[in-house]
Structure 1
Amino acid sequence: MHLLVCHHGLWGNAEHLQFLTNAISQRQPDLKLLCCNSNRGINTLDGIDVCGDRIVRDILELLQSEPSITEISFLGYSLGGLICRYAIGKLFAHGTFSSVQPRLFVTMATPHLGSELPKVSMWKPHVAFFNRAFNTLTRTFTSRTGHQLTLRDQYHDGLPLLIMMADHDSCFIQGLQLFARRACFVNVQNDPTVRFTTGSIEHSNPYRKRPAEVIDPQYPSIVRIVPSEDAVLVSRPFNPTDIPKYGMFILLAPVFITIALTALSSYALYHRANRISGIDVENEWFKEFKQKALTESCKDVLDSTTTGEAESHQHISALLTQESTNIRHWMVDNLNRLGWEKVHVRLEQRRAHAGIVVRRASDKTTDQVSYLVDKYFTDLDFVSTAKK
């Protein structure tokens, strides 16, 4: 039997992936689906590692109760992709993949490099303000998870969790390496939550200056960059209607942000102790792999980016606020060594982050889900192994 583990995003629940899982189930009714709900809602604020520990517990309990499961795949949406990556590392460390074969790993709009937006020149005040507000909101509003998403945590030896998860000698990468296929779906526009570079594990976004073209008319939302010889530089023209829109945002956003941060963060912190009872917050299991996770290559990158205080947490944090840093390039290069099938999705709706998985009934564009099902869940080898 083939187990497919699906995980929702931040503040989400299993219902957010209902359209997606229904489409997969219709195509592959023999798949065993585990739509993780132990991290629903506010539980996603506890940290990528704590959330990952919860689904590892769910997976191990299911494997124990159903020994007929011999293969496993993962599908993670948004934050769920990082939670799945963490869970894969822990399952690898525990030796789970010696008896259960890893098959397919797919992420959709997942911030593989974190979620912090870059600093922008004050000549674009609305963008600069939005980026700064978004970064502050992420760190404060999303509690422990937000610090991990912005690489401001100290998971092990003063280094952020996402850096540890990108180390090519870590259990996280070694676990991912075992999967037969790895794919990441990413929005090319209208997704300020997960920008293209972090969702597609790239150094830059080529769609900022070059047009896109549809690959197959059957899937009009799936695009690629127009070849360089045919490309025409494109740019978004100035729209006078943006002035009152951004002006209103700059005036009102601080008020709403302050109220939201105070109320929701206080609520999350107050209830956190009860939510994480029984979870290995100190990550004792990881200490067995720290020599692999903290490699000399990782230390070399940090040393090359500092002047005297190479392992200073404050200095690393300052570097990571930039769009291009040695550390981010190192993360991109390490993750890309795995080999990914990268699928670029262009949705015209304003909330493309929700639309990529058809999270709401109002999301009318669904061909990206059809593409996922057709290309990743109808492969003959996949079908034959799923029906064993």
Structure 2
Amino acid sequence: MSSSKEIHLVVFSHGLWGNPSHLKYLVEQFEEKHGDNVHILNAKCNSSKYTYDGINVCGDRLVEEIHAEVKSLQDKSSNKITKFSIIGYSLGGLISRYAIGILYQQGFFKLIEPILFITFATPHLGIRREDNKTFTKIVTWMSSTLLSQTGEQLIFVDKYEGDEPILLSMTRPDKIFFIALSEFKYRKLYANTRNDRTVPFWTAAISEIDPFENFDELEIVTNEKFGDIIESISKIENVQKIPFNQMLTNTIKEVLRYLLVAVATPILLPLWIIFVLSTITVQGIMSRRRVRKISAMKTKNSNIDSSKDFGTAIGATSLEEDAVETALNIKNFLATSSPTTPKSLSNSKLFENTSTSASMSEFTTSLQFPRVRVCQAQCEAFSNLNKLKWEKYVVFLDAFNAHAAIVVRNRLHTKGKEIIKHFVEEAFII
């Protein structure tokens, strides 16, 4: 009779509009390095249209899939799961934060040790910015209206407990979600500095500032082994005057940039609107109907398979995902730096000396740069989450869509391979 083996269960959770194939390269590289020492679950319960249903509904589904995987492992052998890690990409990081709270509440971690919680380009502080620009308001309205409960939650207009948004409630130190997160031995995150127009640096890095909005004013030190990872930054106080020729070249580039948008928008925007008003609208309607039925069944204390479809819905595609990301890209492509928030709620240590180089490993804020203008609830969430220790990997990818590239989401986005190598070789701990 063979002796039992202790298993480290590692769960991967994809992002909004996503499916397990988005993490295929990440999982393959991880399995090649650690496959003999772990059991991998690339979660599929929230594929495509189901990501509209909200962080809580998706989190409950993920919990069910984890329990099913644990049961399957235990039924097939005498092996015992003793360790647990979870990796979330984009929205998957928020779904994972919710799921571990439910698992904690259920007593999952009484016998299983939580090891590593890690996120890639996750909007920990949502995607809302206090911006008065008309285009920003339109995109915000569309996000909250067409993307069902998930959209409302990402811009802090939902009511999870009373009048409190779920992304704030999940950061309260007395809540199960925060307690569960604190139980993990390691908490790590990867945040893009530029070219991620879906999840900007400040929300992925749980920071109240975005120093990379003025990239040319920074002196940057990168990792010796992994050049796409920034180790520290300092602000160049006396920025050298740009030569006239370079200034002229930059001006021409800016003009061409805006001309491109001006020419492309009348052509692409109507097509995008038609697409939104068809596929995405249908998805949002079906999601709201699905969520209402799930809520009604929970109220009656009945069991329900929350992944069950309740009608005919159009399947989400990569075209749908790219369409919404394109809208966010246009919004942030045209956006300028936000003004300073009047008051900081941060209890974090500030960099008092403006000439001091700021390390990125635990970066939260600095007096050297203006704060991102966000709502009160986001400020509180920032303060609460940074009460925990995070190891932060700050990434600069020379890619148009760094949000997709950071996990090498498909064959068109391959520039993040060095980041995956870093995760596999350096960040993950057995």
TM-score category (smaller protein)? 0.7 to 0.9
Contact 2:9–2:38 (Cα < 8 Å) also in 1: yes
TM-fit CA distance, 1:223: 1.1
1:149 corresponds to which of 145, 150, 154: 154
**Partner in structure 2 of residue 161 of structure 1:** 166
2-structure distance, mates of 1:20, 1:34: 12
**Partner in structure 2 of residue 5 of structure 1:** 11
User: Do structure 1's residue 71 and structure 2's residue 83 form an aligned pair?
Assistant: yes
**Partner in structure 2 of residue 184 of structure 1:** 189
* Mapping for residues 28-107 of structure 1, pairs under 5 Å: 28-29=34-35, 30-67=37-74, 68-107=80-119
Structure-2 change in CA distance of 1:339 and 1:149 (3 Å): same
What is the CA deviation profile of residues 63-111 of structure 1, one whole-angstrom value per residue up to 9, with x for unaligned ones? 2333411111010000000000000111111111111110000000000
TM-fit CA distance, 1:327: 2.5
1-structure distance, mates of 2:280, 2:45: 20
**Partner in structure 1 of residue 427 of structure 2:** 376
Indicate the SS of the match to 1:69.
strand
Contact 1:112–1:201 (Cα < 8 Å) also in 2: yes
Structure-2 change in CA distance of 1:370 and 1:138 (3 Å): same
**Partner in structure 1 of residue 222 of structure 2:** 215
TM-fit CA distance, 1:260: 2.8
2-structure distance, mates of 1:135, 1:83: 21
1-structure distance, mates of 2:63, 2:412: 33
1:247 corresponds to which of 233, 237, 262: 262
User: Do structure 1's residue 259 and structure 2's residue 284 form an aligned pair?
Assistant: no
Structure-2 change in CA distance of 1:269 and 1:360 (3 Å): closer
What is the CA deviation profile of residues 6-54 of structure 1, one whole-angstrom value per residue up to 9, with x for unaligned ones? 0111110001001101111111012111111111111100111111000
Indicate the SS of the match to 1:12.
coil
What is the CA deviation profile of residues 144-175 of structure 1, one whole-angstrom value per residue up to 9, with x for unaligned ones? 11011111111111211111111111110000
2-structure distance, mates of 1:282, 1:156: 18
* Structure 1 portions without partners, runs of 5+: 121-127, 285-304, 306-321, 383-388
What is the CA deviation profile of residues 196-255 of structure 1, one whole-angstrom value per residue up to 9, with x for unaligned ones? 111110001112234253422321111144235788589995411023123235535652
TM-score (norm 1): 0.79
What amino acid is the match of 1:111?
A: P
Contact 1:2–1:69 (Cα < 8 Å) also in 2: yes
Structure-2 change in CA distance of 1:232 and 1:80 (3 Å): farther
1-structure distance, mates of 2:375, 2:117: 27
2-structure distance, mates of 1:275, 1:234: 58
Indicate the SS of the match to 1:343.
strand
Name the count of aligned residue pairs: 337
**Partner in structure 2 of residue 125 of structure 1:** none
* Structure 2 portions without partners, runs of 5+: 1-6, 75-79, 300-344, 346-371
1-structure distance, mates of 2:173, 2:93: 18
Contact 1:183–1:341 (Cα < 8 Å) also in 2: yes
1-structure distance, mates of 2:288, 2:235: 54
2-structure distance, mates of 1:283, 1:194: 32
1-structure distance, mates of 2:241, 2:84: 43
Structure-2 change in CA distance of 1:254 and 1:364 (3 Å): closer
What is the CA deviation profile of residues 287-321 of structure 1, one whole-angstrom value per residue up to 9, with x for unaligned ones? xxxxxxxxxxxxxxxxxx9xxxxxxxxxxxxxxxx
User: Do structure 1's residue 354 and structure 2's residue 404 form an aligned pair?
Assistant: yes
**Partner in structure 1 of residue 137 of structure 2:** 132
What amino acid is the match of 2:387?
A: R
- Structure with larger Rg: 2
What amino acid is the match of 2:385?
A: L
What amino acid is the match of 2:397?
A: L
2:390 corresponds to which of 320, 324, 340: 340
What is the CA deviation profile of residues 355-386 of structure 1, one whole-angstrom value per residue up to 9, with x for unaligned ones? 00011113332111111111123x4xx2xxxx
* Mapping for residues 105-116 of structure 1, pairs under 5 Å: 105-116=117-128
Indicate the SS of the match to 1:151.
coil
2-structure distance, mates of 1:347, 1:282: 45
Range with greater deviation from structure 2 (206-215 or 356-365): 206-215
Indicate the SS of the match to 1:329.
helix
2-structure distance, mates of 1:323, 1:244: 28
Structure-2 change in CA distance of 1:341 and 1:43 (3 Å): same
What amino acid is the match of 2:395?
A: V
Contact 2:130–2:375 (Cα < 8 Å) also in 1: no
* Mapping for residues 287-298 of structure 1, pairs under 5 Å: none
Structure-2 change in CA distance of 1:136 and 1:252 (3 Å): farther
Indicate the SS of the match to 1:11.
coil
Indicate the SS of the match to 1:324.
coil
What's the RMSD between the two structures over aligned residues?
A: 2.8
